[in-house]
Amino acid sequence: MKTIFKNVEIGEKSFIGDFVSIGVPPRGRKDGELKTVIGKNCVIRSNSVIYAGNTIGDNFETGHNVVIRENNKIGNNVSIGTLSAIEHNVVIEDNARIHSRAFIPEFTELKKDSWIGPGVVITNTLHPKCPKAKQCMKGPVIGENAKIGANSTIMPEIKIGKNSLVGAGSVVTKDVPENSVVAGNPAKIIKKISELKCKKGLVKNPYEHSV
């Protein structure tokens, strides 16, 4: 069983799993009031919920139990892992990869080819429960080809530079320059991407394709 609400467009050769809901009207909206578009060759796995007002490109893929709130713009070749949550008004560009159990809040931008590891938490509110919190809510910008290691936390309004790497378990409180490796709590620059070595000796630099 699956539920497809009104004003939903799903591209050809897409697979919709059991117990999936697509086009769910957000609070204050009627069924079909917001158009929902999902591209070609997509795979929406069981128990995922996609709210109305989303525009999603071709070759999109979810794991199981993914929740995507309303009014997001999601590019081509994007995948979102099991039990991840995407809030509203998020921009996810082409080829971005979000692993399982990640949280992506409102007003976050993920640039093309960015990579979000499992258990990553992104935040968008400087002072939770402040009466004016929603007026200054702003998520981070994760730069092109940037990689966020597992279980990291990214604070609001942060900019993660192009090609940069955030080490697993880090808490990022300041902007990260392009081509940098940061780690720790709070995260600090420890080297450049070009200085990373492959411990297995398989390649000179594990990210040499992006340096």
Q: What are phi and psi of 107, to 5 degrees?
A: 65, 35
CA distances from 98 to 1, 75, 126, 196 (A): 26, 13, 23, 23
Q: Among 64, 88, 99, 127, which one carries the catalytic annotation?
A: 127
Kindly give, in sequence order, each residue whose CB lies less than 8 Å from that of residue 135, ignoring residues fewer than 6 positions away: none
Name the strands in the sheet holding 79-80, side by side, starting at the edge strand that comes first in the sequence.
15-16, 43-44, 61-62, 79-80, 97-98, 115-116, 147-148, 165-166, 180-184, 187-192
Name the strands in the sheet holding 55-56, side by side, starting at the edge strand that comes first in the sequence.
8-10, 36-38, 55-56, 73-74, 91-92, 109-110, 141-142, 159-160
Strands (E) located in 94-164: 97-98, 103-104, 109-110, 115-116, 121-122, 141-142, 147-148, 153-154, 159-160
Nearest-angstrom CA–CA distance, 50 and 76: 16
Is 127 an active-site residue? yes
Structure tokens at 125: 């509110």
Q: What are phi and psi of 132, to 5 degrees?
A: -105, 15
Give catalytic residues, as residue numbers: 127
